[in-house]
Structure 1
Amino acid sequence: MISIVSVDPAALLSSPTNITLPHSINRLPGTDTPYHYVPTLWICALFVALFGLSGILHLIEAIHTRLWFMIPTAVLANIAEVIGWSARLWSSKNPPLIDPFLMQISTTIIAPTPLVAANFVILGQFITPPARREV
């Protein structure tokens, strides 16, 4: 809560920039974090679970269909997303820490790159006529 400060008008005329405020100004929760807010716990947990499930399904799909390129692309991307969202979950419990913020921001930015590579490989297989495909 910000308290009202009484200022002498004569002091303003002599030096308008020399106003001192009390040191007991309370800040809003989460404003001293790298995010400038506190990440929501349940959203972080939901995305950890969804990316974990997606990674397991992609691994099963890669093994079942013998599309081995899916393991270093789609599965690796899901693992990186789980790490990133787990770090954000950690941030929701300890908002001022910088380490989980850096983990989250770097992994969630880099992780989609291998997934996009897998999507382009799959798209190329759809576009190539079946007679020209090599097995």
Structure 2
Amino acid sequence: MSYPRGAPEPPMDPSSRLSQDINDVLREQVDQARRELRAAAGRSGRGLACAAAAGLCGVLALASAHKALVATADRLLRPPKGEFLLAAAYAAGAGACLWASWTQMSAAADTTEQVGTRLRGLRAEPVPSPRFGGDGDGSDVG
């Protein structure tokens, strides 16, 4: 049925309106979940970058410690204080990067779990059809 241009459209029947409202709510929930999962993926990426930085700092700490031990063994009584200080600084950097990685990865895992829990709660239940009085699966029609 066509209506004149500019004329208001007739109101929707209650079941169509309910169906439209449910679709709108579900669409918004899925969009919200998508935004949260994208944010969690970003946190995961930052967490992996921090883990890589922690690994690099750990390797540098081991290299500095090794070099310092070699120099100490060569001199026996006078340890190279600068190398030990550098090794300690690298170790502290590795610890800080590891902590940052852990917090980012934990936050990403928590967000993913929360979104999954919320989406599992959106299971569609059959809605009785007002027209036929059935359970909404169409088995009572025809």
Tell me the TM-score normalized by structure 1: 0.38
Tell me the TM-score normalized by structure 2: 0.37
Compare the two structures and name the one with the higher helix fraction. 2
